[in-house]
Structure 1
Amino acid sequence: MPGKVPHFVKYNLFFKMQINGFVEKNDIIGAIFGQLEGILPPELDPQNLLNTGRIGRIEVSLTHREGKTFAEIMIPCSLNKVEASVLAAAVETINKIGPASAETHLDRIENILEERRKIIIERASEILSSWYSYERTEIQPEKIPRLIEEKARKTKMITIGTENLPAGVGTLKSEEIIIVEGRADVINLIRYGFDNVVAVGGSGTIPNTIVELSKKKTTTAFVDGDRAGLLLLKSLLQAADIDYIAIAPRGKEVEDLTFKEIKRSLDNRIPTENLTLDLDKLEKIIDHYFVKIEKREGMETEDINLLIEAMLDKISGSRKFVAVDQNINEIISGNIALLEALLEHLPKNVYGIITDVELNEKIINKAKEMGIAFIAYRGRSNNIEIIRLKNNTDIEKSS
C-alpha cells in the first residue's frame, strides 16, 4: 500500500503469522489496516501513520505448505517506544485473514539507531587504526637526499602575478599554499620538495596577488623566528586571509632551515582563528609556540604547564579535545562528544587529554581505566584545572 517514506526509521517490528488457509500478501496487509481501524487512537491508526510517514511500506514474505500460509511481516517505523509497543500489541490481535483463522505474534524488534551507532563506532575505530598506520609509514632518512633530488629535477621556480612574485609551480595547482618572505625562502623550500610556496617580496607591503590567493586557497604564513618575522606575520594577518602560521626555530631564518626543521615547523603550525593583532600578545602566543616545538630533555613542570596552557588557548571555544603524549605533542583531536566512544581506541602513547570543557565523572573514570595520566581544562574562573589520574604524573594538579 503506497505511503510516505519515514523521515528516518527508529525500529523495525518483525511479526510471524500462521494462517489456516491459502492467502496472498495483499490479504495480510489489508487485514492490518482493516482490522485495526477504529481500535487505536487516531494518531496511531495504521493508515494515518502511513500517510504521515511515521511507518513505512509493510513488507510481507510468504511460504505455503500443507494447506497453510506462513508469513513474516516487517513494519518500519519512526515511533517512540511506547507508540511502537502499542502498535505491536495491536497487530498481534489480528486473528483472521479473510475467512481463515490466524495467529500472530511479535518475533523481534530491531533498533535501527543502536545498530547504526554500533556500525559507526566499529567503522570509526577501523578508520582511526588505519590512520595511525598511514602516519607510521615513514620515509627512510637515507633516502631523503635522493628523493629531494628527484623532486627538484621536476620542479622549478616561477614568477606569478603582476608583481612577478617568486613561487613554486605547485602554487598554481595546489589547494594549499605556503607564504614566505623572500626569494631565498622559496628556493630553500623547493629544494626540499615544497613547491606550493610563494614569497611576498621586499616591497614592504603585502602584494595584491597574495591577498587574492589567500581568498581562494588554504594559506600558511611561514616566517622567520625573529622580530622581523613577527612583524611580517602581523602585516599578513592584517592584509590577507591567513589560515595557519608556522615559524622557523627561534633565531633562524626560513632560507637556512634543514628539511627536518621545515617539516617540524609546518607540522606544528597553529590556526589563526583566535590570534590577536596586538604585537605584545602575539609575541606571548609565539613564545608558547616555541616552547612546544623546542623539545627539550628533562622538561620541567613549569614548561609542561605552559604547553598545556598554549594548547588550551588553541582550542578555546571549539568544544574539542586533544589527546597528547608525554611531551604534550598532539596525537589526535576531535569533537568532545566523540571522546567517550574513542577512549578505548586511543593509541597506547596517549598520556593526557586536554579539553575545552569540564568532563563528567563517567568519562574521567573511563580515562583512568585506560591509563590516561591527566585531564586538563579551564575552570569557571578561567584557571587551568588539571586532574591527575596517576600519582607519578609530572604536572601540577592545578594552576
Structure 2
Amino acid sequence: MDDTAKYLIHASISADGVVERSDVVGAIFGQTEGLLGDDLDLRDLQQSSKVGRIDVQVDSENGHSFGQMTIASSLDKVETAILAASLETLTRVGPCQAVIEITNIEDVREAKRRMVVERAKELLTESFDDTVMTSTEILEEVKESVRVEDITEYHGLPAGPRVTDSDAIIVVEGRADVLTLLRYGIKNAIAVEGTNVPDDVATLTQERTVTAFLDGDRGGELILRELSQVGDVDYVAFAPEGQSVEDLDRGAVIRALRNKVPLSRLPDEGDFRSAVADANDTGGVAPDPRPESPTTDTSSTPPADVTTDAVGETSSDNNGTVTVEKTVEADTGSDPTAEADVFSDSTVEAVAETVEPVQQTRSLSDHVRETISDGSGLARLLDADFGLLDEVAVEKIYDTLEDADPVPRLVVVDGEASQKLIDIAAQRGVGDVVARSTGEYVKKPVSVRVRTADQLLT
C-alpha cells in the first residue's frame, strides 16, 4: 500500500480524557460506518487496498490526550478529500469528547518528484565533474607520491625512513598511520600492526625516546597497555575521541604530538584517554627535557618535540619525538627570525586549541541550546533522563545511530531531520528527534516525533 499510495491524510486528535490508539481507530470505523455509502465505506476500502492502515500516535498529559493520525490513500483527489472530511465528524473517542481536525493532505507523488529533482542535481554535480587536473594538483600529487614511497620496513614492520637512525621514534597502530605521518613530513614512525606488540618494537623502545601516538578508541588504549608492559614508553598522545590517526589533518597531528603527556603521569588503572585529556585541560603537557637557552625567543621557535632545518632537510632531537621534513624553502637573507617565521606559518599552528568537555545537562532544552542554538555542528544521543550517551559530528549521525548501544531515547541534531535519519530512528526505536529544520518526507514514521529547535524553545 505504501508503494501505491497517492495521498497521505494528516490529522490532529485531541480528547478531554485519557485515550489510547485502539480507542481512536475504533471510533473512526464505528462513527463513519454507513456515512458515505457503500462505495466509500472505510472497511471496504481497506480490504480492497485503496486505503492503508490508520497510523495513530497519542500522548496523554494532565488528563488530556492529543496526537496525530496518518492515513494513506490511493483514491483520486475528490474521493480522498471526502474521506478526510468525514473524519472531522467524529465527536467522541471512547468515553471522552474528542475533536479530529485535518491538518494536511499530502501529495506523495509531489514529494517524490522533489526527491527526484534534488537527486538529479546531486548526480549532475558529482558524476559529471571536470576530471582534468590543474598544474597545481599535478604537482601536489607527484610530491605526495614521493613522500609515500619513502615508507620502509623495520624487521618486517611498516616504518618511516628515519626510524633506524633517529634518537626518537613514534609508535603508531598501523601502516595507514605511518603513511599519514609521512605525508606531513614526519619520518620516524613505526607501526605495531595490531594489539600484539612485536618483540622488535619492544626492544627498539628500550633504546630510543618513545612517544606512543594512538587512535582515540578502545583499541588504542589496549595497545598502550601492552606496549607499556613489554617496552619502555616515555610519552603518550591520542587522536581525538573516536578518530584515528590516519584521519587527522596536519594541524591536528601537530597539536596531538605537542600535547603529549609523560606516561609516568598516567594512572595505572582507568581510562588513559581521559587521563591524557585531563592533563591537557589542566596544563599537564609534557615539559621540554632539554635546558632552555636564555637567548631563545619562544614565540618564534618550533616546539621542543619538533625539529626542522630551514631548507627542507630533516634532523632529530636527542630527547624529542618528531622528525619533520620541511616542505617550504625561504630566502631568509639577513633577517635572523625569517627561518622561524617560515616554520610557524607553514608547519605548525602557534596555539593549540582547547576543547571544553561537554558537561552533562539535565533538560532537553539545555541540550538543544548547546547543540543547535550555538551552531555546534554536532549531534547528541540522549537517554530517557536526557543523559548524554554519545556526541558525534552531524555527518556521522547515521552510522552512529545504527550502531548505538544502548539505543537512545532522543536525538538532537544541528542539521536537518532528513528522511534517512527518521527512518533509522524508527528502526532503532528512537522516540524523538529534535533538529534545526525538518526535511521533505515521502512517508513519516508515526513512531518518531520530529520537532525543531524553534518549536521546543519558544
TM over 0.5: no
Bigger helix share: 1
Could you tell me the TM-score, scaled by structure 2's length?
0.29
TM-score, normalization by structure 1: 0.33
